A and B are shown apart, each in its own frame.
Chain A
Amino acid sequence: MSEKRTILVIEDEHAISNFICRALSANDYKAIPAASGKEGLSLFFSHSPDLVLLDLGLPDMDGLEVLSQLSGLPRETPVIIISARDRESEKVKALDMGADDYVVKPFGVSELLARIRTTLRRADRMKVSQGIQRSVYQVKDLTIDIAKHQVIQAGEQVHFTQNEFKILELLAIHAGKVLTYDFILEHVWGPYSSNSNNQILRVNMANIRRKLHENPSAPKYIYTELGIGYRMLED
């Protein structure tokens, strides 16, 4: 794409905002800094960026409030949350409210850039597919065929239980996006799943990992977002 992608950086700490913007422009993005929630919202409407980086701890308004105003719009703009380490519930809330991804302070530049790339690619793919679901997903040597209800790894079929397959399917459809435990629970076990299902989900995931010979310290297909949820690598 010849045109530079625009990224709105809503962050009140000047030093952080500064290095993020420098890193973005060094990597061929157009960065727009905003130091407060109000400024961020007005810049959002005047520039319609391709992606928003949003710090949850803003001085003038709650970051979640900003997020809810951004995510209610017809033209969906992906949002990556910047949050402090010890605010897990806040992150989960933001993801459930429609944020695409998050980075935790202190974060590194390469990590941030990788997340931005992933999120933008995913957004582009969504735009192209126009919401039409594919029936086959491919991640590296793993093929998930939803129509045939089949998983093939390096040419070999791997057998999964009903729920394990449903989890894989859900992760594949949303590949690249962090899915919270609650989101997965609701889509696999239904809206009334209780807390004890969390354990079932986690055990299912451990089994999926064992069947795919996936080591959580070197994930090939599924990333663990500790305390938050899971994400499948996009193809």
Chain B
Amino acid sequence: MSLPSHIRSLWLRCRDLLYRIPNPPRDILVTAVLLCGAYCASSILISHTGGENNSALVFVLAVTIISSLTTGYFYGILASIVGTFCINIYFMEPYATFTLNRTGYPVAMLSMVAISCVVCALTTRVKQQAAEAIRREKNTKTLYEINQKLNEEKAAIQLESARETIRGNILRAVSHDLRTPLTAISGAASVLLGSPEISEKNLSMLQDIKSDADALIIMVENLLSVTRIQDGSMPLKKREEMLEEVAGDAILTTRRRFPGVHVELELSEDILYLPMEPLLVKQVMVNLLENAIRHSGDREHITLHLFRQDDWAVVEVRDRGKGLSPEICQAVQSGKPLNRDLSGDATRGMGIGLSVCQSIIKAHNGFFAADNNPEGGAVFRFGLPMEEKSDE
């Protein structure tokens, strides 16, 4: 490190130390120290050179430094006046006396005061301008940072909305591209099933084709709903709907798919008219009915029961089948995603079916529970709030 940089760092350190002292005492201290320094320097100079003009310059220098280190004009001007008197008293003949009798003395004193004042004023102004410049730079920097942050956020939002559009498009495309051929497969199979020239052997295969295509159609609907709800990209399209009409539709759909099964709807005396996305709620009912039909072993006493309990519209699907294991009840209650082993025979994606129910009910701020009926059989129960919560 070179010498000037050494001095510079030393100076910076001293200045930092200095700035740590609180203000009025600091300025007083600076003024006192520098005036003493100027006095000492002048004393040394006068003993070596014998001239008195040097002392004035030394004091002007001291005043300059004082005004650059202190705040405001006050200390600079004070120092210049003190300095002038000091010179007059200590460094001009007759020494140790204040005198204005010598020719030129008053002029010299006044000009000394004037020069000191001007220097002080200039220094202060420069200081103020520097402070202003620093402040402006800081503002600009803050503005720049805020601007940059805003830009980043904007880009993120744009990216997110673009992603959502793409996601929506993919969902639509998938739904169309899967539904259409499945409809065609199922439809073609049922046309062939109705035609007289099909042999017994082929008939059962055709029935398999049709029922598998129908099951796939349901699964596609389930997958679409669950992706839609779970990634939260599309909000529910809620509207007020009569629950018994949704339930009736769900049962008609189920009967169409399982013609031999006996499913009943038990209505509530209360009118259950509440906000929901009807197709999703219907899907929950269809899934629960299908679950009962496939897994309970009972095909005769499946009922869908609607009633009102306090502020909830409750839907129960009951069967008289073999009932549920405690693990399934617990898994349904906990709201954790059901794993495939728990849903027993995982064929036809019944694991998916129940977790679709969970997601749909959760998105409606409802509850979902599973239990065993003391009289035998399983009960799946879900409730939807009668009124929309105000925070939504």
Contact = CB atoms under 8 A, between A and B. Distances in A.
Interface of A: 13, 15-16, 18-20, 22-23, 26, 57, 84-86, 105-111, 198-199, 202-203, 205-206, 209, 215-219, 224, 226-227
Interface string B161-192: 00000000000000110011111111110110
Interface stretch (B78-86, B133-141, B239-247, B366-374): B239-247
B251 interface: yes
Nearest to A196: B240
Central interface residue in A57, A107, A109, by most chain B CB within 10 Å: A109
Given A217-B247, A217-B251, A16 B191 contact: no
A16 B251 contact: no
Given A26-B195, A224-B248, A215 B265 contact: yes
A89 B84 CA distance: 95
A199 B273 contact: yes
Given A26-B194, A105-B180, A206 B271 contact: yes
Contacts of A227: 241, 278-279
A202 B248 contact: no
A227 B190 CA distance: 28
A106 B273 contact: no
B264 interface: yes
Interface string B234-275: 000000111011111101100110000001110100010100
Interface string B321-344: 000000000000000000000000
B282 A226 contact: yes
A111 B195 CA distance: 17
Given A203-B271, A206-B271, A16 B180 contact: yes
Interface of B: 175-176, 179-188, 190-191, 194-195, 217, 221, 240-242, 244-249, 251-252, 255-256, 263-265, 267, 271, 273, 278-279, 282, 304
Given A19-B187, A105-B180, A217-B263, A202 B273 contact: yes
Contacts of A22: 188, 191
Nearest to B220: A106
11 contacts: A19-B191, A26-B191, A85-B179, A85-B279, A86-B279, A106-B183, A202-B240, A216-B265, A217-B248, A217-B264, A224-B248
Contacts of A217: 247-248, 251-252, 255, 263-265, 304
A215 to B, nearest CB: 6
Contacts of B179: 84-85, 105-106
Contacts of A18: 184, 188
Nearest to A206: B271
Among B175, B188, B256, B273: residue with most chain A CB under 10 A:
B188
B180 A216 contact: no
B317 to A, nearest CB: 13
B273 A20 contact: no
B188 A108 contact: no
Given A105-B179, A110-B190, A205-B242, A13 B184 contact: yes
Given A105-B180, A217-B263, A226 B278 contact: yes
Contacts of A20: 187
Given A18-B188, A216-B247, A217-B247, 15 more contacts: A15-B180, A15-B181, A15-B188, A16-B180, A18-B184, A19-B188, A23-B191, A23-B194, A84-B176, A109-B191, A202-B242, A216-B265, A224-B249, A226-B241, A226-B246
B365 to A, nearest CB: 21
Contacts of B221: 85
Nearest to B176: A84
Contacts of B263: 217
A167 to B, nearest CB: 14
A86 B234 CA distance: 13
A217 B282 CA distance: 13
Nearest to A207: B271
B249 A226 contact: yes
Contacts of B265: 215-218
A23 B187 contact: yes
The 4 closest A-B pairs by CB, nearest first: A216-B248, A15-B184, A217-B265, A217-B251
A205 B181 CA distance: 37
B242 A19 contact: no
B194 A206 contact: no
Nearest to B269: A210
Given A15-B181, A215-B248, A217-B263, A106 B217 contact: yes
Nearest to B250: A217
